[in-house]
Amino acid sequence: EIVLTQSPGTLSLSPGERVTLSCRASQSVSSDSVAWYQQKPGQAPRVLIYGASSRATGIPHRFSGRGSGTDFTLSISRLEPEDFAVYYCQQYGSSRSFGQGTKVEIK
Amino acid sequence: EVQLVESGGSVVRPGGSLRLSCTGSGFTFDDFGMSWVRQAPGKGLEWVSSINWNGGITSYGDSVKGRFTISRDNAKKSLFLQMNRLGAEDTALYFCARGELYFDYWGQGIPVTVSS
């Protein structure tokens, strides 16, 4: 089983700042099969990125994903008020598994 | 508009069984694989199970393998999760999601509580 480790656990930031979230896999993820999700309290998750770097339908351009092998990142170029949430990475190269999440909170 | 609506959640005693259902609308149901993902209270997401478009390929997370069974009825645009030998660790909000690999639409979730 591929274990995904996200860091940091929590980020305290202000609107307008740039943020980069990290997701490290315990072994190489084939074909860059990584997705990123955003989840707000009381809501279902929403997919942001799939295939490590492809934005899902309707996702703003301020969200971008990159990475390969064992190291993947999600960046938000300028934080908007609605971006404060928990972010999860997920791999689907070998079975499926999620990271433990990174909470982005308002400073 | 794609919609996924779960049903069947309940309070069940340890060792008991439960069957969850999910009905899809707004898309061609049998064009897509489907999955179940769960979230224990205050915790992160855990993949539970996935099924391909015609039900011929199924896969399960290690924690539910041998206890849970995923199935689908394309004529009824429905996805199911039969859960047996439930334990306290299965208490969670269960989400139905579209997709076999990654998940592009999600239901709002249905709570399952395992408690005596």
Determine contact: B45 vs chain A, CB below 8 A. Answer: yes
Binary contact (A88, B45; C-beta < 8 A): yes
Strand boundaries in chain B, DSSP class E? 3-7, 11-12, 18-25, 34-39, 45-51, 58-60, 68-73, 78-83, 92-98, 105-106, 110-114
Tokens of A96: 């499926």
> Coil, helix or strand for A2?
coil
Size of interface A-B (CB pairs under 8 A): 52
Most A-contacting residue of B6, B32, B43, B45 (CB-CB within 10 A), to test interface: B45
CB atoms within 10 A of CB B40: 14
- Measured between beta carbons, the chain B residues lying within 8 angstroms of A56 are 104
Using the beta-carbon criterion (under 8 Å), do A92 and B101 form an inter-chain contact? Answer: yes
What is the structure's pLDDT at B9?
93
CA distance B22 to B20: 7
> Cα dihedral sign for B41, B61, A22, A19?
negative
Q: What is the mean pLDDT of chain B?
A: 98
pLDDT under 50: residue ranges of chain B: none
pLDDT value, residue B109: 98
Contact B97, B103 (CB under 8 A): yes
Instruction: Return d(Cα B56, Cα A44) in angstroms, integer.
Output: 28
Nearest to A100 among B35, B44, B59 (CB): B44
Q: Does residue A31 surpass a pLDDT of 90?
A: no
- Residue pointed to by tokens 């993949």: B47
Q: Do A47 and B102 touch (CB under 8 A)?
A: yes
Per cent of chain A over pLDDT 90 is 97
The residue assigned the tokens 């896969």 is B59
Beta carbons of A35 and B102 less than 8 Å apart: yes
pLDDT at residue number A4: 98
Task: State the DSSP code for A14.
Answer: -
Estimate the share of chain A in helix, then strand, then coil, as percent rounded to the nearest 5: 5, 50, 45
B103 touches chain A (CB under 8 A): yes
Which pLDDT value is given to residue A79?
Answer: 97
Q: Is the pLDDT of residue A30 over 90?
A: no
Question: What is the spatial distance between Cα A94 and Cα A62, in angstroms, rounded to a whole number?
Answer: 29
Distance CA A6, CA A8 (A): 6
Residue A35 to residue A45: CA distance in whole angstroms = 12
Would you call A56 an interface residue with chain B, using a CB distance cutoff of 8 Å? yes
Q: What is the pLDDT of residue B98?
A: 98
Please give the Cα distance from B55 to B47 (Å, whole number): 18
Q: Which residues of chain B lie closer than 8 angstroms to A99, CB-CB?
A: 44
In this structure, the dihedral spanned by the alpha carbons of residues A58, A29, B71 and B95, taken in order and rounded to 10 degrees, is -50
Say whether residue A53 is in contact with chain B using an 8 A CB cutoff: no
Place of tokens 């707000």: A40
3-state secondary structure of B47: strand
